[in-house]
Amino acid sequence: MIRQFELVEMVRAYNPNADEALLNRAYVYGARAHAAQKRASGEPYFGHPLEVAAILTGLKLDDATIVTALLHDTIEDTAATYAEITDLFGQEIAELVDGVTKLNKLELVNREAEQAENFRKLLLAMSRDVRVLLVKLADRTHNMRTIEALRPEKRARIARETMDIFAPLAGRMGMQRMREELEDLAFEVLNPEARTSIMRRFLKLRKETGDLIPRIKAAIEEALYEVGVPADVIGREKKPYSIWRKMEEKRIGFSQLSDIYGFRVITRDIPSCYAALGAVHTAMRVVPERMKDYISGPKSNGYRSLHTTVYGPAASRVEIQIRTREMHEVAETGVAAHWAYKEGRRSENPFAVDPFRWLSDLVERMEKGDQPKEFLEQVKLDMFHDQVFCFTPKGDVYGLPRGATPIDFAYAIHTRIGDSCVGAKVDGQRVPLWTRLRNGQSVEIIRVESSRPSPVWMDMAATGRARAAIRRALREDEREEHVRLGREIARLAFERRKLDGGEKALVSGARKLGFGSVEGLLAALGAAEITGRRLVAAVYPGMVESEEPAPEDASDRPHRLVLGAPPGLPFAFAECCEPIPGERVVGIRTGRGVEAHCIDCAALVAHEEHPERWVDLRWDEDAAQLGGRSASIDVTLANQAGALGAVATLIGEHRANIENISTLARMPDFWRLRVSVTVRDVKHMSAILSALEAQAIVTDVRRTRLPAPLPKAEGPKADVKAEAGPARRDLSA
């Protein structure tokens, strides 16, 4: 266990002006608080806070962070209180300790909704002071180093949380050294066989070729010496997890893997970086298209370096990173460089791009009210990506994840530009919005101020920022449409009963139904959260029958669409005929409850001689506004480019949702498709069929009855089989 004077000397080594009394006081307080506690391994508990503090001294952090590391478990695991820490060590340290304590209580790998909400809390705590994250990452690193003492199921949970959350967070904060260690420690727990296999391959490779690292290092140093560039060269084998991930992504074996060796050339200034690059390229054969310049275009986490891949001794492919000493420190320690000390002074801001800006942007998005599950999706998109760099026509550069499209580029510039995007030019050529961008391309966004995002953009966008903005815009548009539709439903509901439904009536209805505004009432009406009859009953009580609230077990009236089913019996719509509002329906009692069929459903033949099973049903008068019903359409269309898109667009323009599309037949000149759509009623279905029938690319379209297994009917007609096939129907029935 690290002794008191040793810890103080570790801090004074990089900060001679450290507050020795404060460090000593924290050491003694932490040792006493944890005196009676043991870790799962049986070792004294206080050894853990000491090791966390030691990890942070390696990052050369300030006194407050080191003291926080010593005390980070006191409030959670001992009798210490926030007030006591404040009195003894000050407000700043107390808030840091409290922040780490709150993070320790969050379960980040559990049910998805809870995980998302807890991750929001994690980011909020970090955003107030990034040192909370630094202590937490150091805490997690030491816990992973000593994870063997835990139960297997707990080891797996902590390792998964580390791989999914903390390692990517460290990488996104620019802390590459810590990210690599966390990934490899978690990999050893989650997939020990794979890690062992890779280590064995390394041993075999060394036996076959010898230790290549000294030979490659000597070749690079000789190339630099020839041109007079002073530099330090560091070589290493890549981490097992990094190699395994590359094998998985490229679906190749270890023997096919290139560049398993990584070298860093550390120079004194930026001109020396480019001189070193030229020297390496002159002395060794370059692997084409593997050169990346992150000095002129830094990554979004502040990383700067030149990357190139060359063929070294024994035909080995070698990745070389060339950077200055300052760039190297930022690449290794990331956001921790903000708080690092050099010769007793805080370092000046070393970032070309501050990784903490990403965190600030996330918090800003949280405050706009994104749903937790959606927010977690955005964060994971932002944390797991390789980058490409593209330019605006004015020369501004934006980093985007690999696979990003012009939509992502537009939203990276500004939300307003993304919302009004209608097209893009890449390197001067007009391209579709789904085009994948490549490094170094110039992108010009074509805008129309009145334009709005399309739902299909969600499938094109690769960044969390773009998806969040698109989702928000679609919600706004949907609300506007619901308000418009709700106003029309309210007008018809009042007119049908010859009652005044003016603005005053709507204000009264909003108040009585608990809505804060008329707009909120209309939006709920348009979204089928309430019905027109309920609104009228609220405004004119006694003049129209009020709706009773649906019982908790509403199986007797699913979706509140159909009336007449016996209460207490399970109810379902038949899958064979897919009845929709406006069609005559009848119920059949079965052993499973009541099943609703269209009056002309072929399956009813089996029940003709059992009239006692038949139940008279009718649609609720507001059924068309209470949510759509699925129906199937068979479409035969020309097998040509854009045909399917035209059909989908036409259905979408009729505000019908496509639930599923399946191919029935595909011939050289035509397709036969089965399209499952959600429609309001028979009029809605008739309009869609008429519109499709009018298309030149459509040769045939019809409403389809889907075959479905039916319960065997009792009695003399039990063996009659229902014919459930496609047939044109009179949809005005």
pLDDT, one tens digit per residue, over 574-585 is: 888 888 888 888
| pLDDT tens figures, 128-141 | 788 888 999 999 99
Residue 266: phi and psi, rounded to 5, are -105, 115
Nearest to 408 by CA among 447, 430, 434, 431: 434
| pLDDT tens figures, 63-121 | 999 999 999 999 888 889 999 999 999 999 998 998 888 776 655 545 455 555 666 66
User: Which tokens is 653 given?
Assistant: 């323009």
**pLDDT exceeds 60 at position 559:** no
**Is the CB of residue 433 less than 8 Å from the CB of residue 423?**
yes
Which of the two residues, 359 and 609, has the higher pLDDT score?
609
| pLDDT tens figures, 486-523 | 888 888 888 888 888 888 889 988 888 888 888 888 88
Around Cβ 63, how many Cβ atoms within 10 Å? 18
**pLDDT exceeds 70 at position 359:** no
- Which residues 6+ apart lie within 8 Å of 449 measured at CB? 420
CA dihedral for 579, 580, 584, 589, sign (positive or negative): positive
Name the average pLDDT for the chain: 81
**pLDDT exceeds 80 at position 3:** yes
Nearest to 444 by CA among 488, 390, 512, 371: 390
**pLDDT exceeds 80 at position 461:** yes
* Counts of helices then strands in the chain (DSSP H, E): 28, 23
DSSP 8-class letter at 164: I
pLDDT at 348: 59
Nearest to 408 by CA among 364, 455, 462: 462
Band of pLDDT at residue 143, cut at 50, 70 and 90: very high
Around Cβ 590, how many Cβ atoms within 10 Å? 17
**pLDDT exceeds 50 at position 271:** yes
**pLDDT exceeds 90 at position 670:** no
Q: Which helix (H) or strand (E) holds 212?
A: helix 212-227
What residues does 324 pair with on adjacent strands?
267
What residues does 265 pair with on adjacent strands?
233, 322
Name the residue with tokens 């949970």.
Answer: 157
The SS3 call for residue 74 is helix
Following CA atoms 653, 654, 658, 664 in sequence, which dihedral angle do they give, to the nearest 10 degrees? Answer: -100
**Is the CB of residue 629 less than 8 Å from the CB of residue 579?**
yes
The CATH code that applies to domain 626-704 is: 3.30.70.260
Domain formed by 4-190, architecture = Orthogonal Bundle (1.10)
What residues does 541 pair with on adjacent strands?
544
The pTM of this model reads 0.54
Band of pLDDT at residue 345, cut at 50, 70 and 90: low
pLDDT at 322: 96
**pLDDT exceeds 80 at position 184:** yes
The reply to whether 77 belongs to the active site is yes
Rounded (5°) CA angle 450-525-498:
115
Residue 316: phi and psi, rounded to 5, are -80, 140
The SS3 call for residue 559 is helix
Question: CA 600 from chain center: how many Å?
Answer: 47
- Which residues 6+ apart lie within 8 Å of 429 measured at CB? none
pLDDT at 590: 84
Q: Which CATH superfamily is domain 195-346 in?
A: Beta Polymerase, domain 2 (3.30.460.10)
Q: Which helix (H) or strand (E) holds 241?
A: helix 240-250
**Proportion of the chain above pLDDT 70, given as a percent:** 81
Q: Annotate 334-347 with DSSP letters as a single string.
A: GGGGGT-EETTEEP
For 634-651, what is the mean pLDDT? Answer: 84
pLDDT at 52: 95
Band of pLDDT at residue 290, cut at 50, 70 and 90: confident
Please state, in angstroms and rounded to a whole number, the distance separating the CA atoms of residues 434 and 454: 12
In the chain, residues under CATH classification 1.10.3210.10 are: 4-190
pLDDT at 552: 39
| pLDDT tens figures, 200-219 | 887 877 777 677 888 889 99
**Is the CB of residue 470 less than 8 Å from the CB of residue 420?**
no
Number of residues in the chain: 733
Q: Which of 19, 43, 51, 77 is catalytic?
A: 77
Mean pLDDT check: name the lowest of 51-55, 398-402, 650-654. Answer: 398-402
In the chain, residues under CATH classification 3.30.460.10 are: 195-346
**Proportion of the chain above pLDDT 90, given as a percent:** 23
Burial class (CB in 10 A: 0-12, 13-18, 19+), 433: buried
pLDDT at 536: 86
pLDDT at 409: 92
Which of the two residues, 307 and 616, has the higher pLDDT score?
307
Please state, in angstroms and rounded to a whole number, the distance separating the CA atoms of residues 373 and 466: 16
The reply to whether 76 belongs to the active site is yes
The SS3 call for residue 686 is helix
Name the residue with tokens 């097992």.
Answer: 240
pLDDT at 516: 86
Measuring CA to CA, how many Å separate 137 from each of 104, 434, 708? 11, 37, 56
pLDDT at 355: 58
pLDDT at 117: 60
Pairing of strands 341-342, 585-590: unpaired
Measuring CA to CA, how many Å separate 204 from each of 192, 200, 210, 334, 393? 18, 6, 9, 35, 52
Q: Which of 76, 92, 600, 609 is catalytic?
A: 76
